[in-house]
Amino acid sequence: MTDCDLISAEGYAEQQRGSLTLRVAAVTPPAHPLGQEYAEPHYAVFASATDNDIGWLALFVPVTDVDAAIATIDADAEERASRLSILIGASWAAVAASARTVVEAQEEAVMRLPSEVYGYSLAELRAVRTYINTPDPNLTAVLLGMTYHWQTDPGGTHGPRFSS
């Protein structure tokens, strides 16, 4: 992955696409062998579920053709991005401070999320997320995993693990 930090925290274009709010921001282009003046512009596309301003999710980082990247978002991808935005999204201030750090943390967190989260509605995920008061995507994923594990763990063949 290239160095994908934002050029400007305020320099983005915003649009609505179904249940997502998309922000397209210019990012630092990768190093070009002939120098920066030869590097073509690169952009990042971030998404947030509607009514979830704190949950920005990196969708495409970096891209040169924004319209082609956005055109690949179908209904399933939109639903998945909404779920991930609620669960492991970052504040826009965190994205502006270091988009690279946010992208890496979100990529790790996606691998740790329990599969059960994809079976719940967006309203149910918002309700669960209100009880997890941390901006760290990895910690959120671990806490969600523990929650779903403890909820469904029968404790083996000898009955519930924590029977009273």
From first to last of its 164 residues, what are the pLDDT tens digits of the chain?
456 778 788 889 999 988 899 999 988 877 767 766 667 788 999 999 977 667 899 999 888 899 999 999 999 999 999 999 999 999 888 998 888 899 999 999 999 998 888 888 888 888 888 888 888 898 999 888 887 766 655 555 444 555 54
Q: Which residues contact 67 (CB under 8 A, 6 or more apart)?
A: none
- According to DSSP H, which parts of the chain are helical? 66-71, 75-88, 92-97, 99-112, 122-129, 137-152
> Using CA atoms, how far apart are residues 1 and 55, in angstroms rounded to an integer?
22
User: What predicted TM-score, i.e. pTM, was given to this entire model?
Assistant: 0.82
- Give the CA dihedral 78, 104, 118, 71, nearest 10 degrees: 20
* Sequence spans of domains, the chain: 12-152
> Using CA atoms, how far apart are residues 145 and 116, in angstroms rounded to an integer?
9
